[in-house]
Amino acid sequence: MEKSARAVPGVLEADLNFATGVLALSFDPTSDPRKAVVAVVRAAGHGVEEVGEGGQPPSARTAPTWWQLHAHAATLVASGSLIAAGYALGLVRGAAAVADITFAAAALAGGSLTAPRAWASLRVRSLDMNVLMALAVIGAAVLGDFAEAATVIFLFSIGQYLEGRALERTRASIRDLVGLAPALARVRRGAEMVEIPPQDAAIGETLVVRPGERIALDGIVASGASAVDEAAITGEPMPVAKTVGDTVFAGTLNGGSLLEVAVSRVAADSTLARVIHMVEDAQASRAPVQTLVDRFTRWYTPTVVIGALLVAVAPPLLGWGAFADWAYRALVLLVVSCPCALVISTPVAIVSAITRASRDGLLVKGGAYLEVAARVTAIAFDKTGTLTMGRPRVTDVVPIGESDSARILQVAAAMEAGSTHPLAAAVLSARGPHPDGLTATGLADVAGRGLEATVGGSTYGLGSPAFALERGAVDAATTALIEQLETQGKTVLVLFDEHGAQGLIAAADEVRPEAAATLRALRSSGIRHIVMLTGDNERTAAAVAAHAGVTEHRSRLLPQHKVDAVRELAARYGTVAMVGDGINDAPALAASGLGIAMGAAGSDTAMETADVAIMAPDISGLPSLFRLGRRTVRIIRANVAFSIATKAVVLVLAVIGYAPLWLAVFADMGVSLLVTANGLRLLRRS
C-alpha cells in the first residue's frame, strides 16, 4: 500500500500505521493527490477513506452498511458453499465437468479479495503473499486441478479473515482511548451553561462536570470535591480524591459530586490527546528485529520465486520426471514461500505489548524500547519525586538561643513567600494561616544557596548549613544539631541573623510506601544493580537509600554529574535505565539506555525526553515493564524461529514431492495465525 501511494504524482512520503490502519501522507500541496491515493488504494482491494475535519473519516459519522461489515465473511460463505457443492457433484457419475465448473466458481469467489491486491502489488513490482497465492491458484487451474485451486484460495481467505479479526483486538485499544473523550464539554459562559465541542473551549474557561460524566479537558478544580476514576490515564484502579486546586485530566470519570474545573490545556494538548498520539506513534514505530526481518524478506521472496521456476523447468528438461508433476511441486513451493508469518511475527507482538503497557499506565514510545528494556541490568533512580513523594514537610523546628519556634517559622515563611521551591511550600504549610503580618523586603537569592532579606527591621539569612557556615553563623553546637537531623534523613534550613543561628527547620521528603517492595521485585526480575542519584546531602541520601533498600547512592550531584554517573554505570553493567521526574533529570534520561519519566501525567518535559513515561504517581509498575520487555523479546524470537523452521521443513517436503498444496497453505496462513495468536498473548497482564 505504501508503494502504491508513493507512486502517485505529488506524494512525497507514505507511511501506513500497522496498528491504527491510518495511511499518513506527505505531499505537494499544489497538487493535493489525496483523492488519487484513495482511488489507488481502493483499486488494490482495500477500503479507505480520506480523513475529514476533526481527524475522522466521513463514515465515522454514519453507521456502516451490512456489506461493509460482513463482505469478507459473506465471500467466504459463498466460496465454501461452492466447494462443498463441487465435492458433492464429484460423487455423482458423469458430473465431473459440472463439479470442475463449481470449483472454478468457488476459486473466483474466494479470489475476489486476493486478485485485486495481487494486481496492485505487481504494478509496483512487489511480490507479496497475494501475488504468490494468485500464481499458485492459476497454476493449479492450468494443471486442471480446480478442486485444489478452490481449496487453496478458500483456506488462504479464511486465514486472512481470522488474522484480521485477531489484529482488530490490538487496534481497538486506540478507539477505546479516543472514545474516552466526551464529544461535548459543558462550559459556564456568564450566566449561561453551553455545550460545545472540547476543541472550542479556551484556557481559563470553566467546565461544569456532573457526577458520572467524563471530564472533557485537562484543568484545575475550581469548585467542589469528588472522587475521580483516573484508570484510563494512570492505570490505577482506585478513584482519586480531588478538591480545589487539584489537577484533573481529560477522559477521566467524575464520581459522586459536581466539579467546576478551570481549563488548563486546550483539547489538542490534553494529557489524553498526548497519550493517544504517543501510543499511535509507538505502535507505528519499527523495532530493530522488525527492520531486520523486513530487509530479509526483500530478497527472500524473489529468491524463492526464481527457485520455484527452476523446480518447474529444470528437472523435466533433465529428464527427471513429468512437467506437470514438477510444476505442481513448484506451486507448493510458491505458496509455502510466502513470508507473511515471518513478517507479521514481530509487529503483532510489539503492538500487543505496547497496548498492554498503556493499559497499565506505562507509555512506551516504540518497540525498540521494549527490546532495550529486555536488556537492562542496572537502574539509576533520582531521589526526589521518584523514590520519595516529592512533597517535603517540616518535621522539626529547633530554636537556638532565645528564639522560639513560632517566630522562626514566621520569619522563614515571610522570606519564602512567593518561592516555588518544595521546601518553601513545606515552611509555608507548617506556619499555617498568616496572622502575624510579617513581610520580607530587600529579598535576595544568594547564588541559589539561600535567601537574605529584612524582616521586622532585622536582616536574616535562610538557607543550607553550608550557606550559614559561609556567613559564620554556625558554631560547633549548631553543627552537631544539624548532623543529628541529617542522619535521620532530613534536609535542614538554618535561619540566622548578624548574631548567628536563630533556629533550624528540618524537613523530610517521605519515601514512597511502595519503594522497598518495588526494588525487591526489580531485583527478582533480573536487575543486577540499583543506585540512587541525588543532589541532596550525604546524610539525607544515606537515610533515604537505607529506607528504600538501595545498596548504592551518590549525593550532592548536579545534572552533569548524574550524566557521568549513568555513563559509568553503563560501562560497568551494560544497558542502564534512568528513572527521573524533573527538568534537571532530562540530561541523565537522555544519556541512559532507557529513560523513564516518573509521574508524566503532569510533566511535559519528562513526557518528551524519556523513552517510557509512567502515568501513575508511583513506581510499582516498573517491574512489569521489564518483565513485559523480556516476554516480548522471547515471543518474537519464538515466532521467528517457528516461522523459519516450519517453512524450511515444508520447503524440503515440497521439493521432494511430499507436500500437497493444502499443507503449504497451512505452513503459510496456519503459521501466520499461530504466531499472531502467540503475539496477542502479550495483551494479557503478566
How much is the pLDDT for 686?
67
Q: 29 versus 47: which is more confidently predicted?
A: 29
User: Mean pLDDT throughout 673-677?
Assistant: 88
pLDDT reading at 63 higher than 60 = no
What is the reported pTM?
0.70
Question: Quick one: average pLDDT of 272-291?
Answer: 68
**Per mean pLDDT, which range of 198-212, 242-256, 602-616 is the poorest?**
602-616
The residue ranking higher by pLDDT, 339 or 572, is 572
Question: What DSSP letter does each residue of 204-256 carry, written as one string?
Answer: T-EEEE-TTPBP-S-EEEEE--EEEE-HHHH---S-EEE-TT-EE-TT-EE-S
CA separation for the pair 219, 264 (Å, rounded)? 4
Third-level CATH fold of 185-267: 2.70.150
Which pLDDT score is estimated for 577?
95
Task: State pLDDT tens for residues 445-474.
Answer: 876 678 899 998 899 999 989 889 988 999
Return the CATH fold of 393-508: Calcium-transporting ATPase, cytoplasmic domain N (3.40.1110)
pLDDT over threshold 50, residue 60: no
DSSP labels, 113-174: THHHHHHHHHHTT---HHHHHHHHHHHHHHTT-HHHHHHHHHHHHHHHHHHHHHHHHHHHHH
- pLDDT(283) > 60: no
Whose grid coordinates read 524582616?
455
User: What is d(CA 617, CA 322) in angstroms, rounded to the nearest whole number?
Assistant: 72
Residue 411 Cα distances to 93, 123, 568, angstroms: 109, 80, 44
Report which of residues 263 and 341 the model is more confident about. 263
Mean pLDDT to the nearest integer, 225-251? 82
How far is it, in rounded angstroms, from Cα 253 to Cα 256?
A: 10
Which DSSP string do the residues of 416-447 spell out, in sequence order?
HTT---HHHHHHHHHH-S--S---EEEEEEET
Residue pLDDT, tens place only, 116-165? 888 877 877 777 778 878 888 888 888 888 988 888 888 888 877 876 77
- Given this model, what pLDDT does residue 581 score? 77
Q: What is the mean pLDDT of the chain?
A: 84
Residue (of 360, 364, 366) closest to 234 by Cα position: 360
pLDDT over 70 (residue 599) = no
Kindly list the domain boundaries of the chain, sorted by start residue. 2-56, 68-174+281-350+633-683, 185-267, 374-388+511-625, 393-508
Q: pLDDT tens digits, residue range 383-392?
A: 888 898 877 8
Our answer to whether residue 382 is catalytic in this structure is yes
What spatial distance separates the first Cα and last Cα of the chain, rounded to whole Å?
Answer: 35
For residue 603, name the pLDDT band (cuts at 50, 70, 90).
low
Residue 507 CB contacts under 8 Å (≥ 6 apart), including other chains: 392, 393, 394, 395, 423, 426, 427, 490, 491, 493
Measured CA angle at 495 (ends 492, 499), to 5 deg: 135
Residue 433 pLDDT more than 80?
Answer: no
**Is pLDDT of 20 > 90?**
no
pLDDT tens-place string over residues 618-629: 899 899 999 999
Strand partners, 529: 378
Bridge partners of 507, per DSSP, are 394, 491
**pLDDT above 70 covers what percent of the chain?**
88
Cell of 503: 533556629
Which residue, among 145, 138, 143, 144, has the nearest Cα to 110 in the 3D structure?
138
Contact 589, 610 (CB under 8 A): yes
Helix H or strand E segment including 451? strand 450-455
What CATH class has 374-388+511-625? alpha beta
User: Is residue 683 pLDDT above 90, yes or no?
Assistant: no
User: Which residue, 617, 584, 581, is CA-closest to 596?
Assistant: 581
Q: Which fold has domain 2-56?
A: Alpha-Beta Plaits (3.30.70)
Residue 139 CA, distance from chain mean position: 45
pLDDT confidence tier of residue 166, bands split at 50, 70 and 90: low
d(C-alpha 150, C-alpha 164), whole Å: 21
Chain segment 192-235, per-residue pLDDT in tens: 899 999 989 999 999 999 998 999 999 999 999 998 888 777 76
Confidence of residue 61 (pLDDT cuts 50, 70, 90): very low
Residue 600 has pLDDT above 70, yes or no: no
- C-alpha grid cell, residue 391: 512533597
Distance CA 536, CA 558 (A): 10
Q: Which of 250-259, 508-517, 605-614 has the lowest mean pLDDT?
A: 605-614
Catalytic residue among 100, 218, 360, 382: 382
Average of pLDDT values for 645-656?
A: 85
